[in-house]
Structures are given as structure tokens and as C-alpha cells.
Amino acid sequence: MVFAIHLCYNTAMPKIVDHEEQRKHIAEAMWRVILRDGMEGATVRRVAAEAGMSAGALRHYFKRQDDLLVYAMRLVNERVEQRIMGLVRESLPPVEKAVRLLLEVIPLDEERRAEMDVWFSFMEHVRHRPDLEGVPENRLHFFISQVVAYLHHEGLLQEGLDLQLEAERLYALIDGLAVHALLESERLGPETVERVVRTSVERLCRHAQ
């Protein structure tokens, strides 16, 4: 289920020759091990086994375990940002676009659940690793400020709003929903998540209420 990130490389894997592709393949193997065994279980040996190679071969691509960790984190970020950029280019009514953009960072399908799940494990780990260099920053606050600025630019926001405060509110709401959609999905299904997000965007806008 959650282990099926993108392609299942385990069966009948074609030879991957490209260095960068191989690094992605290893990072995705690390994700699967973390999803299965938690961060504590993500040893070089297990990740290598999951990737179908020896620990020595893995070290050819990542000299230190920390290099792999940082790379695997960056790869999660990149995937999310690629999906967001795809949506930004779509032609949609502004409120609809804002709602769709915000929903994009909430784990409502298996792919995003896996991403969020592994991201949690990364976050909890790096909290206790102040020595770790190159950890990608969380750009969600910036992203959500941009969504609020977009609605403002389109002339849709109610008058007199403090944009910075509204961005902070929406950021907390979306991140909270993302956590709950992952951990409390029995209660909080995709439909409710969408209603909450839509209601929240509409309340910020002039006429949509």
C-alpha cells in the first residue's frame, strides 16, 4: 500500500545506468524502509537490501548515511513542488485554483500519504540532529503566503484583512489538516478535508460566502 511509491523497483528492474536515476532509486528505497520500519530501522544495510544492491555499492552513490538522508528529504520537497508548479500553470478560476493548491499539500491519496508519512519521520529525526547540514527548509509557510497574496492580487479578499495574519492562520489550518488527514483518517476523510479548505478560502473572500 504505502510502500508502492511511484514505481515498484523490486520486481524485474531494468538496468539503471544514469547516476542521478540510481540516487533517486536509492532514496525511494530509503522512503520505503522508513515507512515500514521507522527512521530507526533505516540502516545503510537495510536500505541497500531494499534497493537491491550491496552496502558497498550504495556508498558509491552516497558516501555517508547523512548524505542519503538529506538527498531523500530534498527529493520529497521536489516532488511536492513539481506538482504545485503544474497546478499553478493550469487555467482555473482563482478561488478554485487556491483551493486546489492548498489541497495539494494535504495527504489525500496514497502517494501523498507516503510522502507526508516519511516527511514526519525525517522531521522528528532532524529535530535531534542540529549537526546535520543541508536539511531542506520547510517552504510551506512561504507557499501559503503566496496563495493569500494571489487571492489579494485577484481582488478577491475581504477588505481590511491583515494579510500576514491570514497567511499564518491558513498555514496553521493547512498543516494541521495535513497531520490529521494522515493520523486520523478514520474521522477525517478527503471530502471533509476539502469542505474545510473550501470554507476557509471562501470566508477570506468578498462574495463567495
Q: Which one of residues 6, 60, 64, 195 is an interface residue with a second copy (CB under 8 A)?
A: 195
Residue 71 interacts with a second copy (CB under 8 A)?
Answer: no
Distance of CA 24 to the CA centre of its chain: 16
Residue 176 interacts with a second copy (CB under 8 A)?
Answer: yes
| CA–CA gap between residue 95 and residue 2 (Å, rounded) | 31
Cα three-residue angle 98-177-179, rounded to 5 degrees:
130
Residue 23 interacts with a second copy (CB under 8 A)?
Answer: no
Stretch that binds a second copy, among 52-60, 71-79, 92-100, 189-197 (CB under 8 A): 189-197
Residue 175 interacts with a second copy (CB under 8 A)?
Answer: yes
**Residues numbered 137-166 forming contacts with a second copy, rule: CB under 8 A:** 138, 141, 165
| CA–CA gap between residue 14 and residue 10 (Å, rounded) | 10
49, 27 contact by CB (below 8 A): no
Q: Which one of residues 63, 64, 124, 134 is an interface residue with a second copy (CB under 8 A)?
A: 124
**Per-residue b or e along 164-202, where b marks 16 or more CB atoms closer than 10 Å to that residue's CB:** eebbebbbeebbebbebbbeeeeebeeeebbebbbebbb
- Which parts of this chain interact with a second copy (CB under 8 A)? 37-40, 120-121, 123-125, 127-128, 138, 141, 165, 168-169, 171-177, 179-180, 183-184, 187-188, 192, 195-196, 199-200, 203
